[in-house]
Amino acid sequence: MKITSKFKTIGFALAIGMFTFACSQETQNETNEEINEAQAEMTEAGDEMNREFDEFNSWVTTNTERAETVTADEYREMRTEYNRRSAELEAESSTWDEETRREWEETKADWNDFENKVQQRLGKIDDVDVDVDVNKN
């Protein structure tokens, strides 16, 4: 009787130990899966941000090459687009690494050079052309 009791006790201890191990392993696996998902989301968000910055940088490069041929109307449109897109990127700049920040500063400097060339060629261009006739009596 004592032998069967000891076998039962040992069996119970093994069963509880295996159950605890199984629960811990399951919890560990779930935690690892959640960590992997979070890392994937962060990588995805970083990749999307890099894509947006690269697209903007390409857009700036393409348009700044047109400094000698751009018209005043085209320049106004491009400046509006630049301001909109740069504001969106600037809002995200706190999460960038040093290399991206350096590239961002270079992109802004390229755009500034472009604006200076266009304004030198065309003169100061205001955002709004207003032609108003005012008659005072």
For 47-76, how does the pLDDT look when each residue is reduced to its tens digit (9 = 90+)? 777 788 888 889 999 988 888 888 888 889
For 83-106, how does the pLDDT look when each residue is reduced to its tens digit (9 = 90+)? 999 998 888 888 888 888 899 899
Whose CA is closest to 94, among 108, 104, 85? 104
Who contacts 108 (Cβ-Cβ below 8 Å, separation ≥6)?
A: 86
pLDDT of residue 129: 47
Alpha-carbon torsion 31, 32, 36, 37, what sign? negative
Token pair belonging to 73: 């109307």
Please provide the size of the chain in residues. 137
Q: How confident is the model at residue 131 (pLDDT cuts 50, 70, 90)?
A: very low
Residue pair 86/108 in contact (Cβ under 8 Å)? The answer is yes
Whether the full predicted model's pTM is greater than 0.75, yes or no, is: no
